[in-house]
Amino acid sequence: MNKVAILDDYQGVALSLADWETLPKDTHLTIFKDHLIDTPDIVQRLHKYQIVCAMRERTPFPKALLDNLPNLKLLITTGMRNASIDLKHASNLGITVCGTEGLGHPTAELTWGLIISLARKIHQENEATKQGRWQTSLGVDLKGKTLGIIGLGNLGSQVSKIGNAFGMNVLAWSQNLTKQLASTQMATLVSFEDLLKRSDFLTIHTVLSERTRNLIGKQEISLMKESSFLINTSRGPIVEEESLINALKNNNIAGAGLDVFDYEPLDEKNPLLSLKNVLITPHIGYVTKEGYEIYYSQTVECIKKFLEGNPVRVINN
């Protein structure tokens, strides 16, 4: 029997969004909706499975975990990049790691949902109105404001186009960005320092790496306007969380829209949850019905190909 574990199905939708019935009859599926953090608990849960299906980076697979999964032969991740899997060690252990395609635009769309809600205080006014209070805050325009984008790749370029549609002044920066490339994406290349100083809305769209970890810390935040907003739908550790919390507590910036955090799910004691100038979503940038249909349907295809001895879409970071 081929035992398959589907991890971190928070919404309980995995089985409804793909045709799992097409898998061989001797395939046994187990769905796990809850999330485990401690390695011993994960080992106890997964040690008997030959195939594990991970949802993005919700459950990391470092060397210590892989070493204790002796039956694991195929590890599937949704998306073609997963920095939380030790790919080299998996290969050394003879574990095949494959990925699926996905959609980029949902995260860009969520970014704008956060920006608009922060600007017009939609989340605050929604709660106030339900509590019987009418018009409690004053929003700000997007038109004429400066949008700063860190990373002008697939996602950042989509955010740039929408910023232009709102009539914003769009600036961009990344380590390898050129003036010509920025121009083709309807943005103006500036220095990192200028981006921080001039942006009314600063949004992050770069991958997490050794170069970008803690890219924005106490010093960088101190350069931002007191009226500015920081939006992060990329990865939590790109921003020093403690420095951001202190800045928000002291109103050194106007607010933040956050979809990603250092540790997820977010601890219920995290100070970010008690700050009124923070808009929080639970890492749902990629979480849409259309995106999940691609993830799960291609997960099924990957399992079928692997069991049939055919090549699968192997990933490398």
* pTM given for the model: 0.94
Measured distance CA(162)–CA(58) in Å, rounded? 29
Query: Options 3.40.50.720, 3.40.50.2020, 3.30.565.10, 3.30.930.10; which CATH number does 2-103+288-308 get?
Result: 3.40.50.720
Domain boundaries in the chain?
A: 2-103+288-308, 105-280
Fold matches, 2-103+288-308 and 105-280: yes
Catalytic residues: 235, 264, 283
Question: In the block, which residue shows the tokens 């990049």?
Answer: 81
- pLDDT tens, residue order, the chain (317 aa): 899 999 999 999 999 999 999 999 999 999 999 999 999 999 999 999 999 999 999 999 999 999 999 999 999 999 999 999 999 999 999 999 999 999 999 999 999 999 999 999 999 999 999 999 999 999 999 999 999 999 999 999 999 999 999 999 999 999 999 999 999 999 999 999 999 999 999 999 999 999 999 999 999 999 999 999 999 999 999 999 999 999 999 999 999 999 999 999 999 999 999 999 999 999 999 999 999 999 999 999 999 999 999 988 888 76
DSSP character at residue 142 = S
Backbone angles phi, psi at 114, to 5 degrees: -65, -45
Question: In the block, which residue shows the tokens 């485990």?
Answer: 36
Measured distance CA(267)–CA(271) in Å, rounded? 9
Would you say 57 and 83 are in contact if contact means Cβ atoms under 8 Å apart? yes
* Class of CATH domain 105-280: alpha beta
